[in-house]
Structures are given as C-alpha cells and as structure tokens.
Amino acid sequence: MEEQIGELWHKILYKVTDQTFPQSKVELGDIKGRLLIYLRALNKDNGLSIELADKRKHANQRNWIQKMAGNNRYITACWRNEDSLHLPSEIAFYEDIQLNKDLYFWLAGLSSQIPEDELSKIDSWISYNQVLCQQTLQQHSGLKAKYHRLVKAHIKNRPHLERLKGNDLIAEKNIREALLHPEIIQQLPETKFKPAHVPLWLYQPPEQNKKSINRDNDNNNQHSKNQKEVKDIARKKAREVESSEETTGLISVRMENIFSWGEHAAVDRSLDDEDDLDSAETAAREMDEIAVANNQRASSSRLKFDLDLPSSSEDDIIISDGILLPEWNYKKSELIKDHCRVLELQIKNPGSSELPDHLRSIAKKLKNQFQALAPARQWRNGQQDGQEIDIERWIRFASDKKAGNASADQLYKEMRNGNRDMCCTLLADLSLSTDSWLNNDYRIIDVIRDTLLLFGESLQATGDDFSICGFSSRRRDPIRIHQLKNFDEKYNGITRARINAIKPGYYTRLGAAIRYTIKELANQPQSNRLLLILTDGKPNDLDQYEGRYGVEDTRQAILEARREGLQPFCVTIDTKGNEYLPYLFGSDSYVVIKNPIELPKRLPLLYAQLTSR
C-alpha cells in the first residue's frame, strides 16, 4: 500500500513539474525519412546521417517541487559532429504538434552551417549559436517565419524573469535577446547554475576530451563529456545501480558468449574492459535493459583483445599475396596509393558437393525460369564450313560463276548458341556479423550460403559468364578475398563445395573489396558488366574505417566502378539500409530485403530483372 501511494505521489509531482507536452510529442522515427531528405537538400555535406541524441545531466536551477519529483535533471541536447546529426528521440517542447515538427526541421537546417573554420574559433556557446542562426536565416530565408514562431512560443516556456536574481537574471535576458535578435552577439556572465535548456540551439558533442564550446560553463560539463551516444532509434529500459568504490575487481567474461550481452551483474570491472566507444555502443544496442552507475573516476588502464587470424595450417590456400589497392581519405580529399593489401584465398581441399536437398525444388523452378533468359540458337550465315548450304550465297555464287568472276568462299551456314553479352560478379560480405542468428534455424551466413548456391544454379542455365567471391577484412592489411568461382571456371560440384565451406570472417572494408572486383570485371570482354554486392550492414573495420570514413571510401569506390563502365547494385538485409544506401548507390541501385529468409529466392530473380533492362 505504501509503495502504491508513493508511486502515485511521484506521478502527481512529476506531472506538476513536467515542462513538456506529452500529448503533442513528435517522434523522430516517424519523420526520419523526410528529415534525411531535407537535411541532405540543405547540406553541402551529403554524407551526414541522423542518429539518436542521449540524455545528459544539466545543472540548471530547480525549485523545491522539482527536486522532490526528481524532475528536470536531464536534457536531450541536439549536437553534431563530422559524421552525424544527433537529435532527440522525441520532441514535446510545444503544445502545438506542428511546432514540435518544425523544431526538428529547424535543427536540421541549423546543423547545415557547420563545421566552418570561422565558427571553430568561437569559444562561447551562445555566440556560436547566434552565428549559426544568422548564417541559416541568410542562406535559407524560407526558415525565417518558422524560426520566429518557434522562438516566440519557446520564450513563453522559459523561466520567469522575476524569479531570477543577479547573474542568473542577466544570463536569461541575454539568451532571450540572442534568440530574438541573433545578429546582436551576446555573452553570458558567470552563473552558479546553467541557463535553462535552449532546444533551438546546438550543444557541444559529448565525446571525451572534446574541446568545450561553452567555456563560460566549463566546470559543469564534466559529466556530459563522458556520455556515449547509442546509435539506435529503439528505446531502452534503464535502471540506476550503485557504483563500487573498489579499485580492483573481477573480470567476468565467458568467451563463448562474447557476442551476447545479458542482464547487468553487479561486478566491478574497474573500467578495464571498456576499450572504446564502439564496444560500448554495440553492447548498449543489444541489451534490453541498461544499468547505469555514476562513477566519476577516470579509467587508468585498459584491457584489450582482438580477433586474430588462423594459423597457416588451418587457413585457406593463398592464391595471390600482396595486391595493393588505394583507399579514399575524405578528410584530405585524397586517394591514398597502395594503402590496402588484398590476400586472395581459396578453400583448402573442398572436394565436390551436390546441391542440398532443401534447395533442389527451388533450384529446379529457378532453372526453368532462367532458361527463358538464355538467347535462342541462331543461324550464322556466310560460314566457310557449316551444317547446311547457305542458299542465298549459293545462288549468288552460281550467278557470279557464269559471269566468270565466282568465289567459292563462305557458302555455308551453321546453327550456334546466342550471346547475351553479359557478365556478373557477386561479391558477398562474409564479415563477423553474419554469424548472428535470424531465427532458431538459420544464421545470416546460412542464408548467404543458400543464396550463393541458388545464384550459381540459376546463372548456369543462362550461359552468362559470372564469378563469385566473398570478403572480410582485419584493418587495411589484409583484406581477405575468398575465390569461390572465377570467370574461367565452370560451375560444378567443386564450386558448391567451396560455397558450402564459407564461414564468418572479420570486418567489412567494402571499398577495397569493390576495387578488387573492378579490376576483375574490367578484364572481361562483355559490354554489360554487373557488380552485385551482397551485405548485411554498413562498412566497418577496427581502425578509422568505422563510421563516416568507411562510407565515404565505399562511395568513392562505387564512383570508380561506374567510371569503368560497370553497373554496381547492392542487396542488403540491413533494416537501416534506406538511411545510407541512397548516398552510396543512388536511389535505384540498391534494394533492402526485409525478410532475410527470402534472400536465396529473391536474388536470382533480381538478377533477371537487372539484366533484362
């Protein structure tokens, strides 16, 4: 009974002190697609993505009721770095739902002005945002009316001036003046508390060791510097736990569960195994509930381990060791020569395999469909030898003979197979993520294996030249290319055995793999050359290739493929593929397979559509 009364009392206090309007909230997931198009239309930097902003502590002044309710301790601040714009998962600052939508679009427009060299020199948070507002309103005059409506409505919800004193009052007046007149640069005085949250402005990125934009409030930003964003629109449950003050602890890890994360265990690891942002981000994305402890101690040491390559006795056969390829550095706008090394591999002693039983009926149907794509047999006239006499040429020869100038060459015709003038390379992602399970029966790697088998069976029926290879990487040296079928090989039991032997590898340095296939396809005589890329996620690797760097290198590699006359097309099972694939491939050169189990049947049919254009 006491717990129920306490919970009811807390809800009442929270509702009384809540300064948002939940009934008018707008969720980022509902408008993210439109917002991405809008952001890229305004932004010179089309590689920018939209991610979820995290909550951070905000030491603003609170009244006693807010303290009792435990409310208004956190804000969800919008911020941007060189890779992405981070927005709140939902906005409910305004009573009018349209204003909440407009705020999302205003923040997208505001972020389109950075980074600039001039802005990086401004060390005041308020002045920084004023310059951003000026530039945004000057370049996009259509946003002026929207901005002034947002400012007018926001000022009504800001703290009352009569309740503030001293520098807090001056700071609040300066913020209001800066919002109303961004062209008049303001400064903030030293204050005991942080000013109330300004949702129309950008805040500093929360990365550790990031230079603070607002030096006026430098002492209040330590907690936010240690925050890490979770790149996932899905919400997580959270609970606060006590932090151990011990300086040593037990590291509890079972290696067979290294890629599975479960519930929080109250074991102090002394921060040793928190290697970097990526590992924490992956863990947070996969946990159903996140347990958070407030620990102000910095990490003094780290424990690091990494996947290693198999021994030479257990590894595949090395066909070619040392193919050097360039890589695009978007920060320098430079193609770095001989930056990556490709290692060509082939399965050791594959033997010969038949098609698995569960694929035979599907393969039979696909073969029947693909045989219709094979060009019909045609008569070739004017041959020196052949199955039949070319009547027209024979009559012409007889006439010429009577005239005294006959030539007996090319009097036959022969039936030959037609030619579609088509070749294709299927490049399959064999990274570590393919080891994850789709359901109780299939992993991603199992679906990829079935897809490659059905693809080979189908193309065998058309007579088109094709090759199949898989890839994974471990930094820029080596990028492992597994040759499953070359252009000069027939699709047979050996090819099936190689495909059946594939297994999850390491990481996804997609740009280097594409450049490798460009060289392979460029040597083919056909005029129509298709590069099919099969993947399950974004480009990534252990080094700087993670994030924006890998996306930009991949995009550059695709542009190089098109300059060589190739037709790149991506097939992915990544549910977030629609967010970044248009930037990489264009709007009509990729497809997202929503149900990965259907991939084996969908890919051959997709090939038929692409090659019948």
Joined tokens for residue 376: 């019909």
Q: 148 and 22 in one domain?
A: yes
- In total, how many domains does the chain have? 4
Within a 10 A sphere around the Cβ of 390, how many other Cβ atoms? Answer: 20
Q: 91 and 196 in one domain?
A: yes
Q: 162 and 72 in one domain?
A: yes
pTM for the whole thing? 0.66
Q: Report yes or no on 334 lying in a domain.
A: yes
Q: 592 and 469 in one domain?
A: yes
Q: Report yes or no on 241 lying in a domain.
A: no
Strands in 79-80's sheet, in edge-to-edge order, are 49-52, 84-87, 79-80
CA dihedral 37, 39, 45, 50 (to 10 degrees): -90
Q: Report yes or no on 330 lying in a domain.
A: yes
CB 129, CB 214: distance < 8 Å:
no
Instruction: Give the model's pLDDT for residue 104.
Output: 92
Q: 120 and 147 in one domain?
A: yes
Three-state SS across 111-144?
Answer: HCCCCCHHHHCCCCHHHHHHHHHHHHHHHCHHHH
Q: 285 and 360 in one domain?
A: no
Dihedral sign, Cα of residue 283, residue 285, residue 287, residue 289:
positive
Q: Please report where in the chains the tokens 């978007």 appear, as a residue.
A: 330
Q: Report yes or no on 216 lying in a domain.
A: yes
Q: Report yes or no on 75 lying in a domain.
A: yes
Q: What are the average pLDDT values for consecutive 10-residue runs of the chain, which has 613 residues?
A: 62 60 88 85 74 79 60 78 86 91 91 62 79 88 90 89 86 91 86 85 67 42 38 49 50 45 44 44 54 54 52 65 89 91 86 91 88 63 72 79 72 66 93 91 93 92 90 92 92 93 93 94 90 93 88 95 94 89 90 92 90 74
Q: Report yes or no on 543 lying in a domain.
A: yes
Instruction: Give the model's pLDDT for residue 300.
Output: 47
Q: 510 and 471 in one domain?
A: yes
Q: 388 and 367 in one domain?
A: no
Helix (H) or strand (E) holding 4: helix 2-17
Q: Report yes or no on 309 lying in a domain.
A: no
Q: Please report where in the chains the tokens 């998962």 appear, as a residue.
A: 89
Name the residue range of residue 279's domain. 246-292
What distance in Å separates the CA atoms of residue 596 and residue 303, rounded to the nearest whole number? 36
What distance in Å separates the CA atoms of residue 360 and residue 348, rounded to the nearest whole number? 26
Instruction: Give the model's pLDDT for residue 560.
Output: 95
What are the Cα distances from residue 304, in Å, to 43, 250, 307? 38, 15, 11
What distance in Å separates the CA atoms of residue 204 and residue 158, rounded to the nearest whole number? 21
Domain boundary among 225, 255, 276: 225
Any idea what the CATH number is for the domain that residue 580 is in? 3.40.50.410
Q: Residue 310 carries which DSSP code?
A: P
CA angle 510, 516, 520 (to 5 degrees): 140
* Single-letter amino acid, residue 463: G
Q: 288 and 436 in one domain?
A: no
Please tell me whether residue 90 adopts helix, strand or coil conformation. Answer: strand
What distance in Å separates the CA atoms of residue 104 and residue 591, rounded to the nearest whole number? 28
Q: 345 and 268 in one domain?
A: no
Q: Residue 401 carries which DSSP code?
A: H
Joined tokens for residue 425: 């390379």
Instruction: Give the model's pLDDT for residue 304.
Output: 47
Q: Report yes or no on 497 lying in a domain.
A: yes
Q: 384 and 251 in one domain?
A: no
- Among residues 83, 134, 144, the alpha carbon closest in space to that of 113 is found at 134
Q: 605 and 517 in one domain?
A: yes
**Could you write out the DSSP letters of every residue in 191-235?**
-SSBPPP-TTS------TTPPPS-GGGGGG-HHHHT------SS-
